[in-house]
Amino acid sequence: MIKLTSVILLICTSISLFAENGSKLWLRYESTTAVNVVCDRTSPTLAIARSELEKAWDGEAGATVVLTVVKDSAIIGDGFRISKNSIQANTEPGILYGVFELLRCQQTDQVTQEKISNPAYNYRILNHWDNPDGSIERGYAGGSIFWRRGQDSLVVTENDKLRWKEYARANASIGINGAVLNNVNASPSMLTKDYLEKAKAIAEVLRPYGIKIYLSIKFSSPSMLGGLSSSDPLDPEVIQWWQTKVNEIYSIIPDFGGFLVKANSEGQPGPQNYGRTHADGANMLADALKPFGGIVMWRAFVYAPDSDDRAGQAYNEFMPLDGQFRENVIIQVKNGPVDFQPREPFSPLFGAMKKTSVMPELQITMEYLGQEVHLVFLASMWEEFLNSETYQEGSGSTVARCTDGSIFPQKYTAIAGVSNIGLDTNWCGHHFAQANWYAFGRLAWNNKLTSDQLGEEWIKQTFYMPASNNSASSESSTEWTENFLIPIKEMMLQSREAAVNYMMPLGLHHIFAGYDHYGPGPWYAPKGLRADWTPPYYHQADTNGIGFDRTLKGSNAVSQYHEPLRSQFNDVNTCPEIYLLWFHHLPWDYKMKSGRTLWDELCYHYEAGFQKVHEFRKIWDAAKPFLDSDRFAEVQKKLNEQYLNAQLWKDGCLLYFQQFSRRAIPKDIEPPVHNLEGIVSGDHPEI
C-alpha cells in the first residue's frame, strides 16, 4: 500500500515536473478556491477580469470581490484603487489591471495594501520588429506571431487567435496597452488593404485586453504605394494621400493607435530627402491622425556616415526642433546615445527637449546582450537608466521624471520596448528572457520599481511549484526561499554587470562581430564598410591607449550633458569608471582608482565577468531539486553555451587589445585558452 502511494506520488510529481515548457509565462497559477465576483456591468473586458479572478483566486475561500467602474479624480488614466475585496477604476482596462495586481499579490505572498495605483506612462508599448514575411529583425525566439511567410501570410486561423489572446493576456497582466505590429524598417505593403484587414483581426483579439495596435510606416509610401512622384511632406498631394490613408485605416480599425516612424536613419527615406525637417515630416502625419486621436512616435535614432561622432548626432539634429512638433508627436529616443549597448550613459536628449514629448525606447530583445543564449536580466540596466540624473531641472530630474510628466507638462507620456516575442513555445527563446518582457511592462506601469522587486516577483510566479515541493508546509517554503529564490534572484541581479564585464567593460561599446552582434569583434573592419559600423571606430585602441575621446578636446559630445554632468564626464578624475572609455581615450598605464593600470583593470573586468558565468552555472545546478526537469535542462544548456561565449569574449578582447597594450595579462588571471587567429578567422561556431 505504502509502495503504491509512493508510486502514485512519484507519477504525479513527475507529471507536474514534466509539464513545464514555459508557455504559461508568469501566469502559471491555477486555483480551485472559490471566489464570488460582483460587478454590475458586463463587457468583454469585465468578463476577462472576472474569469481571471475565478481561475487564479488564492485568497480566502468564498470571499467576495467587487469590481466597480467609477468616476474618481484621484485615479488617473487606467489606474485603479485596490483593496483585498474591491477594485475600482475609471476605465474597464483599469479594472483588469487591478485584478492582475490583486492576483500578483496573492501569488507572491504580499498583503494587498489599500492603495491607488496610477500608471507612470499613458502609452506602454511593445515595438515588434516583425516583417510581413514572418521573419523578425533581431528576433531570437522564432518567427512572428502576427505575420507568416508565403501565400497564407494574410490568413487568420483559430490558432493564431488563440496565440494572440495569450499574448494579450500576458501583456494586460503587466499593464502593456499598445503593440506596434511591424518592423520600423517598414514595408510599404503594411498599409495595403489586405494587411490592414489582417491588422484589424489582430486588433479585435487585443481590444478586450485594453491593447491598441499601431503600425510602423515607410515614409515614402505615397510614392511607393500611391504612385505619386514624390513623398515630400509639404506637397499637397502627399498630404492628401496620407489623410485618405488615415481615413481608410480608421474606417477599418476605429481605435487605431497611430504610427511609428524610422525616417532618415540607416538608409530609410524621410523628410530630409526632400529638404524638409523631422518636424515637417512628423507634423504632416500628426495632422492626419489628430481628428481620430492618433499619435506619431517619431524615432530619434539617426546618424550619418560622415560624422566624427555618432553619439552626438541625435541631439544635434533634434534639439534645434524642440518646440516645433505637434502635440500628438512623441519623439522616441533610445536609452543610450549610440545603440542599445550593454552599457551606455543616458541619451542627452532626455530632459533637454523641454517643449516636446519624449519617450524612452528600450530593447527587450537582446541584440547586443547575448541574444537567446545569455541569461541577462535587463531590469538592472533599465533601473540604472531611469534613475539617471539629468540635472536638466535641478537635482531630482531623473530620466524617469523627465519622461513621465512629473517635470514637464507633456500631454502624452509613453515608453516603448522592442519586443523579444516569437513563435517559440516559451515565447522568448530563453526562459529567463521572459523576465525582461515582464520587467518592461511592470516598469512602464511603475518606473520606481526596483530590479530586486521585479526579479523576486517574477521568480515567484514563474518557478514556484506548490504541488511538487509540498509547499503546504512552511518548512519547505522557507527552504525554497533560501535555496532557490535568494540565489536565483542574486544571479539575475548580477547578470547584467557580468555581461558588461565579459563583453565591454569600463565604457567600451560596440565591439561586436559583424552584423549579427553576438560574439566579440573588436578587430572587425572590412574594407569599404562605413567607419561607424566597425568596432575600431568605437574603441580607438592603439599603442598609446584606448577609448573614444568625447571630451571638450575630443568630439565634444560631453557638452550635450547638463552641468554638473558635463564637467563630471569631461574630467577624467571625476568621470565614473563605468563610463571611462566612453568619454576618454587613455594610456594603457593610466592609473585607476583601484591603483591598477588601465590595462590590468581591463583584464580583471573580463576575468570577473567570465568567472561570474561559471558561478551562475553552479547556482543553477544547485537549484535543480526545486525545478522541473525541462526548464532545468534547457537553462543549463544555455548557461554552458554562455560560459563558452564569455570565454571567447574574454580571450578575443584581451588578446586583441594586448597587441596594442604590449603588456602581460596579470598572472592571477586564467590565461586565454584560444588564440586570436582562431577566433578572428571564425573557427568557433559559438561566435
Q: Which residues are the active-site residues? A: 266, 339, 367
Give, for 358, the enclosing helix (H) or strand (E).
strand 357-363
What per-residue string of b and e applies to 154-171 under the rule 16 or more CB within 10 Å gives b? eebeeebeebbebbbbbb
- Half-sphere CA count of 326, side-chain side, radius 13 A: 20
What per-residue string of b and e applies to 539-572 under the rule 16 or more CB within 10 Å gives b? bbbeeebbbbbbbeebbebbbbbbeebbebbbee
Closer by beta carbon to ligand GCW, 333 or else 541: 333
Least distance in angstroms from the C-beta of 234 to ligand GCW: 25
Q: How many residues does the chain have?
A: 687
Contact criterion met (CB below 8 Å) for 463 and 347:
no
Least distance in angstroms from the C-beta of 589 to ligand GCW: 34
Strand order in the sheet with 63-69: 35-39, 63-69, 86-89, 80-83, 115-117
**Who contacts 8 (Cβ-Cβ below 8 Å, separation ≥6)?**
none
d(CA 461, CA 109): 10
Going by their DSSP bridges, the two strands 295-299 and 258-261 should be labelled as parallel
Closer by beta carbon to ligand GCW, 365 or else 642: 365
**Near ligand GCW by CB under 6 A: residue from 185, 446, 471, 559:** 185
Closer by beta carbon to ligand GCW, 167 or else 512: 512
Least distance in angstroms from the C-beta of 340 to ligand GCW: 6
φ, ψ dihedrals at 354, nearest 5°: -90, -20
Closer by beta carbon to ligand GCW, 534 or else 647: 534
Closer by beta carbon to ligand GCW, 178 or else 210: 178
Closer by beta carbon to ligand GCW, 24 or else 510: 510
Range 251-270, binding ligand GCW (CB under 6 A): 262, 266
Does residue 317 belong to the site contacting ligand GCW (CB under 6 A)? no
Least distance in angstroms from the C-beta of 17 to ligand GCW: 39
Contact string 365-394 vs ligand GCW (x = CB under 6 A)? --x---------------------------
Give, for 68, the enclosing helix (H) or strand (E).
strand 63-69
Does residue 280 belong to the site contacting ligand GCW (CB under 6 A)? no
Does residue 632 belong to the site contacting ligand GCW (CB under 6 A)? no
Does residue 657 belong to the site contacting ligand GCW (CB under 6 A)? no
Contact criterion met (CB below 8 Å) for 91 and 69:
yes
Least distance in angstroms from the C-beta of 231 to ligand GCW: 19
Does residue 298 belong to the site contacting ligand GCW (CB under 6 A)? no
Does residue 129 belong to the site contacting ligand GCW (CB under 6 A)? yes
Does residue 510 belong to the site contacting ligand GCW (CB under 6 A)? no
- Helix 193-206 vs helix 236-252: angle between axes, to the nearest 10 degrees? 40
DSSP-derived letter for residue 579 is G
Does residue 561 belong to the site contacting ligand GCW (CB under 6 A)? no
DSSP line for 569-599: HHSTTTS-GGGHHHH--EETTPBPTTSSBHH
Closer by beta carbon to ligand GCW, 367 or else 628: 367
Does residue 278 belong to the site contacting ligand GCW (CB under 6 A)? no
Closer by beta carbon to ligand GCW, 225 or else 416: 416
Q: How far is CA 248 from the centre of its chain?
A: 32
Grouping H, G, I as helix, E, B as strand and the rest as coil, residue 414 is: strand
**Who contacts 541 (Cβ-Cβ below 8 Å, separation ≥6)?**
522, 657, 660
Least distance in angstroms from the C-beta of 301 to ligand GCW: 5
**Near ligand GCW by CB under 6 A: residue from 138, 310, 460, 684:** 138
Closer by beta carbon to ligand GCW, 496 or else 584: 496
Residue nearest to ligand GCW (CB): 339
- Three-class HEC string of 429-487: CCHHHHHHHHHHHHHHHCCCCCHHHHHHHHHHHHHCCCCCCCCCCHHHHHHHHHHHHHH
Residue with cell 526632400: 274
**Who contacts 38 (Cβ-Cβ below 8 Å, separation ≥6)?**
64, 65, 66, 67
Least distance in angstroms from the C-beta of 162 to ligand GCW: 28
Does residue 571 belong to the site contacting ligand GCW (CB under 6 A)? no
**Near ligand GCW by CB under 6 A: residue from 256, 301, 588, 606:** 301
Least distance in angstroms from the C-beta of 138 to ligand GCW: 5
Least distance in angstroms from the C-beta of 265 to ligand GCW: 6
Contact criterion met (CB below 8 Å) for 166 and 173:
no
Q: What is the grid cell recorded at 489? A: 534572484
Does residue 219 belong to the site contacting ligand GCW (CB under 6 A)? no
Does residue 340 belong to the site contacting ligand GCW (CB under 6 A)? yes
Pick from 100, 87, 77, 78: nearest CA to 169: 100
Pick from 23, 169, 171: nearest CA to 634: 23
d(CA 660, CA 486): 42
Closer by beta carbon to ligand GCW, 220 or else 451: 220
Q: Is 42 exposed, middle or buried, given 0-12, 13-18 or 19+ CB atoms closer than 10 A?
A: exposed
Closer by beta carbon to ligand GCW, 221 or else 647: 221
Least distance in angstroms from the C-beta of 503 to ligand GCW: 15
Q: How far is CA 25 from the centre of its chain?
A: 16
Question: CB atoms < 10 A from the CB of 352, how many?
Answer: 19
Does residue 512 belong to the site contacting ligand GCW (CB under 6 A)? no
Closer by beta carbon to ligand GCW, 52 or else 309: 309
Does residue 509 belong to the site contacting ligand GCW (CB under 6 A)? no
φ, ψ dihedrals at 360, nearest 5°: -75, 145
Does residue 339 belong to the site contacting ligand GCW (CB under 6 A)? yes
Question: CB atoms < 10 A from the CB of 185, how many?
Answer: 15
Does residue 518 belong to the site contacting ligand GCW (CB under 6 A)? no
**Near ligand GCW by CB under 6 A: residue from 141, 184, 286, 602:** 184
Contact criterion met (CB below 8 Å) for 361 and 334:
yes
d(CA 281, CA 21): 46
Least distance in angstroms from the C-beta of 418 to ligand GCW: 7
Least distance in angstroms from the C-beta of 137 to ligand GCW: 5
**Near ligand GCW by CB under 6 A: residue from 54, 58, 72, 137:** 137
- Total chain residues near ligand GCW (CB under 6 A): 11
d(CA 102, CA 368): 35
Q: Residues in the site for ligand GCW, rule: CB under 6 A?
A: 129, 137-138, 184-185, 262, 266, 301, 339-340, 367
